Structure 1
C-alpha cells in the first residue's frame, strides 16, 4: 500500500486517477484535459502502472488507460479499520452532548427566553 500512497501524493498523478475514475481514457485525452505535455503524462502513467493503480489496453495505435479496482479496495479496507475507531469516538461525543443538553438548556433557548 505504501507504493499506492507514494504514487498518489504527486498532484498530477492524483489528477490522472481522478480523471480515470469516470472511465478509461487515452494518453491524448488525459494530456488534453490536464494541459500537460504528452511525455509528462506518459511518465506519470508509467509510475501509476508500476504501482499497479492503472492498467493499459492497447487498441490499434492507441493505449487506453483505466483504473484497477484492487488497490482502491485495499485502501478502503485499511481505512475501514480506522472508521470503527472514529465512529466509536463520535458515538461517545453524541452521548456526551446529549447528556450535556439534558442537564443544561441550550444557548439558543436561553436567548429566546431572555427576549420574551
Structure 2
C-alpha cells in the first residue's frame, strides 16, 4: 500500500478496529507502541536482508517494488545521517527524556487518583 506516513498510521489503527465488536481500539502506552515499532523495523530489516542476499546470489529475478521503496527510504535517510557519537548522544538523551515524561505522567495519574479518593471519601 502506498501512503504517506500519517495516512499509514491512521489506516493501521482503523484496520485494528475491524475485528472488534464495538469497533474500538486501545492506543496502549508509549512503551507498547515503541516495542511495536521496533518489531516492525526488525521485520523489515530481516526482509530486506533476505531480499538483498537473494539478489546477490542470483535467486531473485523479479524486483519487489515494496522492498525497493524501503531501500530508497533508507538510502535517503542515510544521506542525512548524523555522526555516530552524536546519534548515540541523541538516543540516550531522548530515552532519558522519554523516561522522565513517562514518570511525570504516571505521577500525575497517581496524584489525580489519590485526589479523587480523598474527594469521594469525604
TM-score w.r.t. the length of structure 1 is: 0.40
Give the number of the structure whose residues are more often helix, by fraction. Answer: 2
TM-score w.r.t. the length of structure 2 is: 0.39
Q: Radius of gyration: which is bigger? A: 1
Relative contact order, CA 8 A, sep 6+: which one is greater? 1
Give the number of the structure whose residues are more often strand, by fraction. Answer: 1
